[in-house]
Amino acid sequence: MNPVAEFIESGVLELYVMGACSPEEVREVHEMAAAHPQVRQALDERQQAMEQYALAHALQPRATVKTLVLATVDYLERMKGGELPESPPVLSPTSKVGDFSKWLQHEEAILPEGAESMHARIIGYTPQSTTAILWVQDRTEEEVHHEEHERFLIVEGTCQLIVSGKEHALAAGDYFEIPLDASHHIKVTSASPCKAILQRLSIA
């Protein structure tokens, strides 16, 4: 891989558009974008994707917004601390919990004591997708997605995923994809929190 391609794939452009770069990294991004049209194009694409993501989520329920904002802040702090961006597998009907063992077994991938009804830990981010470990202790608020596919893989516990009024019972190992434009929410049915891999994929 040539140096320009390596720079584009390094994750620094994603950190730049999220405002998480160091001053040195900001200067490097500016210099590389000025010198290489490929970097400028990649940067523009990531900025546009971030803007579209923000617009798509501007009217989400407050609890969901708070959870994702806190998870994003945590993710950015981890990147600043030296954690490298990773690319978890794309969720599909054939996905298995073991596919995500690397992230699920991380010592910090736990539900914090005193956490609110919903908690998330982002394990992968690109302009096209966000992947997180999600814990739900009771239920989530109803929401609708128009610009992205939302997918779940249940890791622990059980829940009812109510989509457009229809209930779907899910347990560990089950996969489910929310149809576009469908109202949905989660209701936990187990004594312990329902833990899942959550993935949102842009349709653009």
Do 67 and 133 fall into the same domain?
yes
* Residue 135: pLDDT over 90: yes
Do 105 and 151 fall into the same domain?
yes
Do 105 and 13 fall into the same domain?
no
Do 111 and 174 fall into the same domain?
yes
Do 127 and 174 fall into the same domain?
yes
Using a 10 angstrom Cβ sphere, with 0-12 exposed, 13-18 middle and 19 or more buried, the burial of residue 157 is buried
Q: With bands split at pLDDT 50, 70 and 90, how would you rate the model's confidence at 170? A: very high
Using one digit for the tens of pLDDT, what is the confidence trace for 57-116?
A: 655 556 777 788 788 888 888 887 888 888 899 999 999 999 999 999 999 999 998 888
Question: How many domains is the chain built from?
Answer: 2
Do 78 and 101 fall into the same domain?
yes
Do 35 and 69 fall into the same domain?
no
Torsion of CA 33, 34, 36, 39, to 10 degrees: 10
Residue closest to 149 by CA, chosen among 199, 97, 193, 99: 199
Prediction pTM value: 0.72
Residue 61, φ and ψ in degrees, nearest 5:
-55, 150
Using a 10 angstrom Cβ sphere, with 0-12 exposed, 13-18 middle and 19 or more buried, the burial of residue 97 is middle
Domain around 111: 63-202
Instruction: Kindly list the distances between the CA atom of residue 63 and the CA atoms of 49, 79, 136, 147, 192, in Å, as whole numbers in the listed order.
Output: 23, 24, 12, 20, 20
- pLDDT for 108: 92
Mean pLDDT of all residues in 38-43:
90
Do 81 and 179 fall into the same domain?
yes
Taking the C-alpha atoms of residue 153 and residue 151, their distance in angstroms, rounded to an integer, is 7
Do 95 and 15 fall into the same domain?
no
Do 38 and 109 fall into the same domain?
no
Q: What is the mean pLDDT of the chain?
A: 89
